[in-house]
Amino acid sequence: MTKTEPQDRTSTMSLAAADLQDERLIHAEGLGGAIAGFGRRVRTGDLGSLPVIIGLVVIWAIFEILSPKFLSADNLVNLAMQSASEGIIAVGIVLVLLLGEIDLSVGSVSGVAAAILGVGMTSLHWPIIVAIIVALVVGAAVGALYGILFTRFGVPSFVITLAGLLGFLGLQLWILGPLGSINLSFSSWIVQFANTWFLPPWVVYAIVLIAALAMLFSDLSRARRRREAGLSVQSLSVTLAKVIVLAVVLGGVAWYLSTDRGTGVMFVFFVLIVVLMQFLLKRTRWGRSIFAVGGNVEAARRSGINTTFIYMSVFMLTSLFAIVGGILAAARLSAASQSAGTGDVNLDAIAAAVIGGTSLFGGRGSAWSALLGTVVIASISSGLTLMNLGAPQRYVITGAVLLLAVIVDSLSRRSRASHGQA
């Protein structure tokens, strides 16, 4: 036994005691204990989404000072609608990053989806749903191909998807043919979905109420299971405070957006995907297996996890989300062109996942990362547009924010390691 092992063991025991103390504080002192426990977790590097939320508040405050129209209801509605398509692509990037891998081809795959939708609707006169199904099948096949190359032949995901970036860009150009650009009928339901469909305020308020009740039910169920297991539980005052804050914040946002056009159906669709994937990641065996594989693939394999299935399913879902994002992006622009999926799409999707809090090192992150990171990037783009600034400034600022996010992630990992956390 080395000299450092007793120290490490002591550090781990101290951390466990501190965690137990946090739980007892929360149980005994309600909101005060919860705040104390949160402060302790922050000091040990367990930052969660806190840096992203603080950064988003700072970005919004700066742009509101520089351009008073930034926080207008009209601009926020546009911001939400514009973020949906790339946000859905970012959800797929979150999944693959959780495995410690990468997909560089999501932009090209989304471009293929736009091309299939455009050609299918116009030249081939397919019903819209048929064009969407064909695109989804292509996406599933792309993800399956990536998974086979990775699991069977051991080709690094960086190389596989870099080849896919080039190959599917060529496929996109071939599908579009010599015209290079195809306009979609603005009267089609898919274009209307991406541009003009907004929920009535009462429907949004009902969704907010359902979300608050779902959180209440989830927390009470978790408390019951912990109580039956003889563990400390979160106090009822903390649970009720969380539910009330959620309802007030979401209700306030819904009311403010309703002063303009309201809440877009496409953005709600994006949020529902995030909620679904967060549930699957946190509450299912498949989701827990993703974190296990991303944390230590060999340990996960020895514990009985089917790592091949995990890799295959994640690569397929990543490509499927790229397809969905590409379809919605084309519908938003009511056009499919050679520029679809190129340029910023890859970079913004990856940056959104990382800025939102998903670790590049695998094993840590959440589906909420895609939502938060996408809103950050969309906010930067919207703010600079209102200030009549273009791509050069946006690239510089987005790159700086991305670098800062990675630095925060590295520092928090170091802090957790020094306190004996995984």
The residue to which tokens 């019903």 are assigned: 127
pLDDT at 397 (0 to 100)? 81
CB-based contact 112:141 (threshold 8 Å):
no
pLDDT band at 68 (very low <50, low <70, confident <90, very high): confident
Distances (CA, A) of 210 to 204, 213, 243, 255: 10, 5, 11, 16
Average predicted confidence (pLDDT) for the chain: 85
pLDDT of residue 322: 96
What's the rounded Cα separation, in Å, for the pair 230 and 67? 54
| Per-position DSSP letters for 268-333, written without gaps between them | HHHHHHHHHHHHHHHHSHHHHHHHHHHH-HHHHHHTT--HHHHHHHHHHHHHHHHHHHHHHHHHHH
pLDDT band with cut points at 50, 70 and 90 for residue 9: very low
The predicted pLDDT at position 193 comes to 96
**Taking CA 300 as the corner, what is the angle to CA 298 and CA 306, rounded to the nearest 5 degrees?**
105
Residues 108 and 180: their CA atoms lie apart, in Å, by: 15
Whether 11 shows a pLDDT value over 50: the answer reads no
> In the prediction, which pLDDT does 33 show?
54
Indicate the DSSP class of residue 336. E
Q: Rounded to an integer, what distance in angstroms lies between the CA atom of residue 120 and that of residue 376?
A: 34
Q: Domain spans of the chain? A: 50-418
pLDDT in tens, 76-112: 999 999 999 999 999 999 999 999 999 999 999 999 9
Maximum CA pair distance of the chain? 74
Model's pTM, two decimal places?
Answer: 0.87
Q: How far is CA 136 from CA 42, 44, 322, in A?
A: 42, 43, 9
Coil/strand/helix, residue 150: helix
Q: Which residue do the tokens 């922050």 mark?
A: 42
User: How far is 412 from 27, CA to CA, in rounded Å?
Assistant: 27
Strand segments (E) across 262-328: 263-264
**Residues whose CB is less than 8 angstroms from the CB of residue 331 and which lie 6 or more positions away in sequence, other chains included:** 117, 184, 190, 191, 193, 194, 195
- 59 CB neighbour count, 10 Å cutoff: 18
Residue with tokens 């010599």: 178
Residue 337 parent element (H or E): strand 335-337
Distance CA 188, CA 408 (A): 45
Residue 27 or 145, more confident = 145
